[in-house]
Amino acid sequence: MNRFVKALAAILAIVMISFGSVSAANAKTHNIDIASFKFSVAELNVEVGDTITWTNKDGAPHTATALDGSWTTQTLKKGESETITVIAGMGLEYRCNIHRNMKAKLKM
């Protein structure tokens, strides 16, 4: 019986590892331009493990900053980019910390 339980645990571990690698392989890369004082994607569907890259195309500096303060990019000057990995529980609504009327959302 003990041997059976161990075999079952081993099979379960293998199944969990393969599911893990499947979800990692499905992770997506999203790109959002910041141009004319707008985020190019107002609402972006994301999943845990995805990455989001913001690129500033404006002369003015911008950030992407969670309303709840859970994450932020650095201040991005023209041509600069920053990438953030989507994690569980991160704030979904964000704005530019310099121009606070510039808002966008992530959806999980």
Q: Which residues bind Cu ion (CB under 5 A)?
A: 62, 96, 98-99
Of 49 and 80, which CB lies nearer to Cu ion in the complex structure? 80
Minimum separation from the CB atom of position 63 to Cu ion (A): 7
Of 50 and 62, which CB lies nearer to Cu ion in the complex structure? 62
Of 50 and 104, which CB lies nearer to Cu ion in the complex structure? 104
**CA separation (Å) from 63 to 48, 70, 80, 96, 105?**
21, 14, 11, 5, 14
3-state per-residue secondary structure call for 65-98: EECCCCCECCCECCCCEEEEECCCCCCCEEECCC
Of 49 and 61, which CB lies nearer to Cu ion in the complex structure? 61
Which residues are CB-contacts of 99 (< 8 A; sequence separation ≥ 6)? 37, 60, 62
Paired with 32 in beta bridges are 54
Minimum separation from the CB atom of position 93 to Cu ion (A): 16
Minimum separation from the CB atom of position 99 to Cu ion (A): 4
